[in-house]
């Protein structure tokens, strides 16, 4: 816990610490199965002499030093860190480093950070969260949407074919007749309303 507080104090006091502009880690999250292995990548965009790797454990509330890998590929491990479990490989002329973790266990859960030190400043990566479970969740099954039904189209049939369906005169002739009758019934009503309005207007002006 004391190491964590010291780390946070340095983070707040030294400019450039905890920045993720110079060190980019991928992926952001990893969900792996027990007894399997995994890896995470750290891209370094600044001159350096080697890369440090740390792990923050939310459960144990501690910030643990894992290992340091110099440009020659020689690794220095932290206390109680197994060499057969953690290893670092350089990629693309010392601009990227890959941390390999094998024999995964629940104790490996945490957020892993790569870091470089330069001019008395410590630069920290963006972090990669690792979760180890006994059984990986099954992928969600994608359900296919039912095929869309084609809209019914009105097709003009030949004169020799009897006209049926929605385009038949048996459907639209009565409908057109009903609409016409409705419009005709509105004419007397409109005329009556006009006469009432005119009488009211004359009565108001006479007063």
Question: pLDDT tens-digit profile of 1-29?
Answer: 334 434 443 443 334 445 456 889 999 99
Element (H, E) at 65: strand 62-70
Q: What is residue 59's three-state secondary structure?
A: coil
pLDDT at 147: 65
**34 pLDDT above the threshold of 70:** yes
pLDDT of residue 144: 64
pLDDT for the residue 146: 62
Highest-confidence segment of 27-36, 51-60, 86-95: 27-36
Q: Tell me the residue ranges of DSSP E strands in 5-61.
A: 23-26, 29-33, 38-44, 50-57
Contact 104, 16 (CB under 8 A): no
Going by the DSSP 8-state scheme, the letter that residue 72 receives in this structure is T
**d(Cα 53, Cα 40) in Å, to the nearest integer?**
11
156, 54 in Cβ contact below 8 A?
no
> What per-residue confidence (pLDDT) applies to 42?
93
pLDDT digits (tens, 9 = 90+) for 112-169: 999 998 777 788 898 999 999 998 888 766 556 666 665 555 545 444 444 445 555 6
Cβ proximity of 63 and 3 under 8 Å: yes
Strands laid side by side in the 38-44 sheet: 23-26, 38-44, 96-101, 86-91
DSSP state letters, 116-160 = EEETTEEEE---EEEEEESSPPPPPPPPPPPPPPPPP---PPPTT
Flag whether pLDDT at 70 surpasses 70: yes
DSSP 92: T
Residue 12 vs residue 206, higher pLDDT: 206
Beta strand pairing call for 50-57 and 38-44: unpaired
- Host H or E run for residue 201: helix 169-206
- Average pLDDT of 85-104? 86
| Contact residues for 100 (Cβ-Cβ < 8 A; gap 6+) | 37, 38, 39, 86, 87, 88, 89
Phi, psi of 19, rounded to the nearest 5 degrees? -80, 145
- Is 193's pLDDT higher than 60? yes
Query: How far is it, in rounded angstroms, from Cα 100 to Cα 53?
Result: 11
Residue with token string 């490989």: 89
What percent of the chain shows pLDDT beyond 90?
Answer: 36
User: Does residue 61 have a pLDDT over 70?
Assistant: yes
Query: What is the pLDDT, as a whole number, of residue 161?
Result: 45
pLDDT for the residue numbered 21: 67
């Amino acid at each position: 816990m004391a190491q964590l507080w010291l780390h946070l104090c340095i983070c707040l006091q030294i400019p450039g610490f905890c920045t993720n502009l110079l060190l980019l880690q991928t992926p952001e999250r990893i969900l792996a199965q027990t007894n399997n292995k995994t890896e995470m990548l750290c891209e370094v965009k600044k001159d350096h002499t080697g890369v440090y790797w740390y792990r923050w454990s939310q459960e144990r509330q501690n910030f643990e030093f894992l290992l340091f890998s110099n440009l020659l590929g020689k690794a220095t491990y932290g206390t109680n860190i197994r060499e057969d479990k953690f290893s670092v490989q350089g990629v693309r002329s010392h601009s990227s480093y890959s941390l390999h973790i094998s024999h995964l266990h629940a104790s490996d859960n945490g957020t892993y950070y790569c870091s470089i030190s330069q001019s008395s400043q410590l630069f920290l990566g963006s972090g990669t969260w690792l979760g180890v479970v006994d059984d990986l969740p099954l992928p969600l099954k994608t359900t296919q949407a039912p095929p869309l039904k084609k809209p019914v189209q009105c097709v003009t049939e030949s004169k020799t074919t009897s006209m049926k369906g929605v385009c038949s005169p048996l459907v639209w002739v009565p409908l057109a007749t009903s609409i016409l009758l409705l419009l005709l019934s509105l004419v007397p009503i409109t005329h009556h309303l006009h006469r009432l309005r005119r009488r009211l207007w004359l009565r108001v002006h006479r007063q």
